[in-house]
Amino acid sequence: MDTGELLEVMAARRSVRVYRSGQVADGQLQLMFEAARLAPSGANSQPWEFVVTRDRAKMRRVRQIYSDEWKQRKLEDPVHYKGLKKDYVGDVSALVLVCGDARTKRVYLTTRQPADREKLFQANVANAVEHMMLAAASMGFGTVWVSVRKEVEPELRALFKVPRSLRLLWVMPVGRPRAWPKPKPRRKVDDFVHWETYDNSKLRPESQIRSWPKS
């Protein structure tokens, strides 16, 4: 694969929230996990751990867990809460729970501050997830980042028997998109690249610190 082909895969990756029925084979999942295995990590600590399921009953339970959280947050703030429903987690080919072994933070020998260790730890696991998402996209599968907030963590942890020593960070659905979302606007390279020193004329005003429109 040359650089142009790699960029095509990156451009094809989407955050998919509408899936159609279909299976993901063992070999396809293994390729995604192989991509994760090759991700970089601080001190080569490789903190990632993945729990994968294709069990429909478990997926339906995950959907209910997220649905209950959405209803509670909407009840608490019916006007301002704009969180997206996550019903799609019950309709995919596989769910991957993304965990990290926080004990690996102790091997960052040159990183002393706890906050710095935490940033590096989460970046390491995120590297593996992004590798998996690109591998999935190359095979025509859609994925999306799903946060594991404190409201849903205990039930997810119990359902999948995740040890207390592991951090439960994200859920990654994998499945065939019912339709590929259209690409969202992207900033131009020249808008965020600064040569030698930061170009303050490119600093975005407060009015531009917002979610980018979908089209």
Residue 147 DSSP SS3: strand
Residue 210, pLDDT score: 77
Residue 83 lies inside a defined structural domain of this protein: yes
Residue 196 lies inside a defined structural domain of this protein: no
Residue 73 lies inside a defined structural domain of this protein: yes
Residue 193 lies inside a defined structural domain of this protein: no
Does residue 18 have a pLDDT over 90? Answer: yes
Residue recorded with tokens 């499945």: 175
Residue 195 lies inside a defined structural domain of this protein: no
What percentage of the chain carries pLDDT values higher than 70? Answer: 98
pTM equals: 0.93
Residue 215 lies inside a defined structural domain of this protein: no
Does residue 214 have a pLDDT over 60? Answer: no
> Strands 166-177, 19-20: parallel, antiparallel or unpaired by DSSP?
antiparallel
Residue 213: which pLDDT band, with cuts at 50, 70 and 90? low
Residues contacting 185, CB < 8 A, separation 6+: 212, 213, 215
Residue 189 lies inside a defined structural domain of this protein: no
- In the chain, DSSP assigns E strands to 19-20, 48-53, 94-101, 142-143, 146-147, 166-177
**Tens-digit pLDDT profile for residues 29-56:** 999 999 999 999 999 999 999 999 999 9
Q: What is the mean pLDDT of residues 135-156?
A: 97
CATH code, domain carrying 48: 3.40.109.10
Question: Which tokens belong to 8?
Answer: 């095509």
Residue 211 lies inside a defined structural domain of this protein: no
- If one counts the domains in the chain, the total is 1
Residues contacting 169, CB < 8 A, separation 6+: 98, 99, 100, 122, 125, 148
Domain span at residue 55? 3-182
